[in-house]
């Protein structure tokens, strides 16, 4: 049986490049996305661009053609997947200090990133018992899926990764010989920085999965996979599995954490207002605001319009 045809194309992309004036790039890009009916998020910084966008095949192609004209972006790599419905509420084009925040301005992923490993070669690398495998994502992402045997830093922000590594370095790498480290993340961008960071810390044999988990799930058959669980994605699909098929998780509208079926069965779960992860960290006044926001969102969906909060945050 052929897989179902999903009408919305989702493009996840990033490129480290030199943008002397990212502010000058924002308005033309935002105008093009608006004209093409694209939704999602694109971040621009002096170090390059990063984001995920969704729309029709033709609209996505038009935006990608434009992005590939930007300095250093001709070889822009894009990971495509598909969704049954638009996975974003709005389009945001933002200029930021970093396209992925690590807080280590001295490292340069353009020149110092680790060795790329293709998805088809990843299993062999991480099966080597002498390789230290590190998941560079945040704790709530790791909780729903990771590679077998990976170390979980249990960080709540990528900015916490350098301090975690420095604190755990001796435990992780004291094997009596030169360490070999393999790292992975959702689409590859965080590993561009994390591998450059480890090299700046004197670790020479550092590897990362080209295209990240998404490319692995796209290319490696489930029966050969060493991936366990689902992969969290930062849009309304919430998670994907092998073949980038939509996963089983939903999103808590209060704290934006992924929710399993067991989470949704918890007495602490209230749609739009709370879940087991955030129930005890929010008060009733906050939950009342979340309920009202969720009510407005449902009304907007019923009317086929964007709710006021979504409209006010576009571009």
Q: What angle do CA 228, 233, 239 make, to 5 degrees?
A: 50
Is 185 noted as a catalytic residue in this protein?
yes
Nearest to 87 by CA among 50, 38, 134: 38
Q: What is the dihedral of CA 150, 264, 217, 42, to 10 degrees?
A: -100
Q: Tokens 């070669």, residue? A: 121
- Residue 239's SS3 state is strand
How many angstroms separate the CA atoms of 45 and 13, rounded?
Answer: 14
* Tokens (6 digits) for 3: 């897989």
Instruction: Of 210, 242, 207, give the one whose Cα is nearest residue 226.
Output: 242
In degrees rounded to 5, what are phi and psi of residue 232? Answer: -70, 135
What whole-number distance in Å separates Cα of residue 218 and Cα of residue 243?
Answer: 5
**Cα angle 39-45-47, degrees, rounded to a multiple of 5:** 125
Note whether 71 and 122 are within 8 A (CB): no
Residue tagged active-site, from 185, 191, 252, 275: 185
Show which residues are catalytic.
185
């Amino acid at each position: 049986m052929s897989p179902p045809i999903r009408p919305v194309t989702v493009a996840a992309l990033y490129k480290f490049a030199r943008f002397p004036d990212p502010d000058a790039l924002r308005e033309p890009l935002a105008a093009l996305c608006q004209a093409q009916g694209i939704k999602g998020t694109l971040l621009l910084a002096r170090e390059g661009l990063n984001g995920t966008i969704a729309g029709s095949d033709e609209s996505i192609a038009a935006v990608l053609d434009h992005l590939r004209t930007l300095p250093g972006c001709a070889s822009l790599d894009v990971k495509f997947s598909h969704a049954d419905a638009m996975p974003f509420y709005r389009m945001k084009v933002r200029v930021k200090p970093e396209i992925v925040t690590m807080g280590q301005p001295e490292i340069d992923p353009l020149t110092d990133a680790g060795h790329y490993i293709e998805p088809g070669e990843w299993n062999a690398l991480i099966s080597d018992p002498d390789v230290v495998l590190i998941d560079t994502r945040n704790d709530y992402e790791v909780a729903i899926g990771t590679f077998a045997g990976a170390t979980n830093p249990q960080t709540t922000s990528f900015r916490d990764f350098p301090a975690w590594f420095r604190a755990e370095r001796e435990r992780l790498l004291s094997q009596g010989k030169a360490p070999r480290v393999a790292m992975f993340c959702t689409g590859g961008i965080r590993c561009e920085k994390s591998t450059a960071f480890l090299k700046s810390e004197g670790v020479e044999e550092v590897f990362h999965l080209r295209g990240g988990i998404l490319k692995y799930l796209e290319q490696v058959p489930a029966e050969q996979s060493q991936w366990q669980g689902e992969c969290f994605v930062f849009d309304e699909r919430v998670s994907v599995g092998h073949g980038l098929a939509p996963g089983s998780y939903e999103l808590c509208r209060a704290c934006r954490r992924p929710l399993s079926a067991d989470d949704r069965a918890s007495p602490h779960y209230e749609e739009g207002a709370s879940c087991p992860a955030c129930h005890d960290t929010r008060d009733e006044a906050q939950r009342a605001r979340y309920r009202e926001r969720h009510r407005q969102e449902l009304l907007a969906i019923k009317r086929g319009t964007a709710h006021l909060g979504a409209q006010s945050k576009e571009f």
